[in-house]
Amino acid sequence: METKKLTGAVALGFLLTTACAPMGSKAGAESDHMMMQSSGKAADLRTGLNTLFAEHVSLAASATGAALGGRDAEFKAAAGALDANSIAIAKAIGSVYGADAEAAFLPLWRKHIGFVVDYTVGLATKDKAKQAKAVNDLVGYTDDLGAFLSSANPNLPKATVAELVKGHILTLKDVIDAQAAKDYNKTYMLLRTATGHMHMIADPLADAIVKQFPDRYAGM
């Protein structure tokens, strides 16, 4: 059983760190379109980002839950959908800041998913050192994402972004801990908290983009 969990978690890591073609494109089509079909309205931007970030948490929790439960087929499907979501988030960034920014953002975003995988593997194998390193890497990562967004948009202070992303990391970690403990009531209550937290990233990001490009996103 433990071996199966580990295999699942390792395979999750492989799937997420392998540069793959967009997967689950049909399943993710709606949220992808939400950004791509944005008519330039601020409200569309905000809704699109909120949808993508909420989907990120939901799919990440599905993948980690399946990996910890040893449900290989389920977690492969969840991991594929999670990567399609990552690509859609990068495209959303690219739709604002261009193809080069999109190309730079995607590996950076995938990096934190890799650290979440490391943490999940650490839990599955009861490897405390691996868990601690993954948490440390994740906290360090918040600085990188803060710097990226702050560099792209001067309306986003690095420290503020880093703190909000740290909130995402910690609320998701709580979910994974509850999944590992098989406390399902707690898992789903915490999943609501983790999903809800993503508004605190999506909303300021949307506001900052609108402030940076008021002509492009007229009509709040």
Cβ distance to another protein smaller for residue 125 or 155: 155
- CA 116, distance to chain mean position in Å, is 10
- CB-based contacts of 23: which residues, under 8 Å, 6+ apart? 80, 81, 83, 84
Q: Which amino acid is at 84?
A: A
CB 176 within 8 A of CB 198: no
Contact flag: residue 108 with another protein (CB under 8 A): yes
Binding mask 150-189 for another protein (x = CB under 8 A): xxx-----x-------------------------------
* CB-based burial, 72-103: b 16+ in 10 Å, e otherwise: bebbbbbbbbbbbbbbbbbbbbbbbbeeebbe
Q: How far apart are CA 138 and CA 185, in angstroms?
A: 26
Q: Which one, 100 or 215, has the nearer CB to another protein?
A: 100
Stretch that binds another protein, among 8-16, 32-40, 149-157, 181-189 (CB under 8 A): 149-157
When asked if residue 133 is in the footprint of another protein (CB under 8 A), the reply is: no
The single residue listed with the structure tokens 């008519």 is 39
Nearer to another protein, 53 or 148 (CB): 148
134 within 8 A of 119, measured Cβ to Cβ: yes
Interface with another protein: number of residues (CB under 8 A)? 17
Instruction: Assess 35 for contact with another protein (CB under 8 A).
Output: no
- C-beta closer to another protein: residue 77 or 162: 162
Kindly tell me which residue out of 6, 11, 139, 147 binds another protein, with binding defined by CB under 8 A.
147
Where along the sequence are the contacts to another protein (CB under 8 A)?
A: 97, 100-101, 103-105, 107-108, 143-144, 146-148, 150-152, 158
